[in-house]
Chains A and B, each alone.
Chain A
Amino acid sequence: MRKLIVTMILLAACANAEELPIGATAPKFSLVNAVDGKTVSFTPGKVSVVVFTCNQCPYAKAFEPRLIEIAKQYQPKGVVFYAIDPNDEAQYAVESLAEMKARAVEKGYPFPYLKDGDSAIAHAYGARVTPHVYVFDGTGTLRYRGYVDDSAKAAERRTAGLSNALDELLGGKTVSNQVTRAFGCTIKWKS
Chain B
Amino acid sequence: MRRAILPLLLIAHVASAATLRDVKDPKKIAEVFPKNAKLRVVNIWATWCVPCVAEMPELRAVDAAFGPEVAMVGVSADDSVPDADRAKVAAFLDKQKIAYTNVYYRGTIDDLMNFYRLEGTIPITLVFDRNGKELWRHDGPVRSAEAIKEIKKLLGRMQ
Contact = CB atoms under 8 A, between A and B. Distances in A.
Nearest to A61: B81
A36 interface: no
Chain B: number of interface residues, binned into ranges: 10 to 19
Interface string B50-68: 1100000000000000000
B83 to A, nearest CB: 9
Contact of B108 (A128, A158, A181, A184): A158
Contact of B120 (A154, A156, A182): A182
B78 to A, nearest CB: 9
Interface string B76-114: 000011100000000000000000000000001110010
A128 B121 contact: yes
A186 B51 CA distance: 9
B110 A158 contact: yes
B48 A129 contact: no
A159 B119 CA distance: 18
B48 A58 contact: yes
A99 interface: no
Interface in A38-75: 57-59, 62
Interface in A162-191: 181-186, 188
Contact of A156 (B48, B108, B113, B122): B108
Contacts of B49: 185-186
Interface residues of A, number: 21
B113 A153 contact: no
A141 interface: no
Interface string A108-150: 0000000000000000000011000000000000000000001
B80 A152 contact: yes
Contacts of A181: 110, 113, 118-120
Contacts of B113: 181, 183
Nearest to A59: B81
A118 B152 CA distance: 40
A57 B82 CA distance: 13
A183 B109 contact: yes
Interface of A: 57-59, 62, 128-129, 150-154, 156, 158-159, 181-186, 188
Given A59-B48, A129-B121, 17 more contacts: A128-B119, A128-B120, A128-B121, A129-B120, A150-B109, A151-B110, A152-B80, A152-B109, A153-B80, A158-B110, A159-B110, A182-B120, A183-B110, A186-B51, A186-B121, A186-B122, A186-B140
